[in-house]
Structure formats: structure tokens, C-alpha cells
Amino acid sequence: MPKNHKNKDLLQDGWMTVDEFVDSLIPGLREYLKHNWGNQGDDRLNHPEDLFTNASIYLDVACHVSRDFINCRHVKEH
């Protein structure tokens, strides 16, 4: 946690708990994996390596998007 930052400031900047992160991540990841190869049904079997690979791609994209939120919104520029 950055020094000299209050929790309210961190919350404003989008920081979250592990539970909040997982709860936010899972619905999008599930939807991505279900529909990545076209709509072939929820019960279709997939090889674990394919699922891990596609989950990795999803998380790589999420990491790139999250970099847009690096700057603290509560810190005023001089």
C-alpha cells in the first residue's frame, strides 16, 4: 500500500480487496471462456490447457486495461 494514502483515497482510485477483485473478475472471465469459440453450449467439454491459455489471454488484456488507472485521481497535479 502506498505510504501517505488514506483508505478513502485508495478506494476512490479503484483499489479493492481480494474478494472484490475475484467477484469482479469471475463473471467476465466465465462469459469470455464460454463464448470464446462461438456459442456451442455451456456443457461443451474443453481441454484444461485451452482454458488456461484463454484465461491467460483474458488476464493479459485486463492487465493492459488496468494500466490506464495507474495515476492517483485524488492527487492534484501541480
- Domain of residue 28, residue span: 7-69
- The pLDDT profile of the chain, 78 residues, written as one tens digit per residue, is 556 678 888 888 788 899 999 999 999 999 999 887 655 667 788 899 989 999 999 999 988 887 776 666 665 554
pTM: 0.69
In a domain, 76, yes or no: no
In a domain, 34, yes or no: yes
Nearest Cα to Cα of residue 15 among 28, 30, 2: 2
> Considering Cα of 14, then 19, then 21, then 27, what sign does the dihedral take?
negative
| Rounded CA separation 78/61 (Å) | 32
In a domain, 14, yes or no: yes
Residue 17 has which C-alpha cell?
A: 480487496
In a domain, 1, yes or no: no
Nearest Cα to Cα of residue 9 among 71, 69, 74, 66: 74
- Count of structural domains, the chain: 1
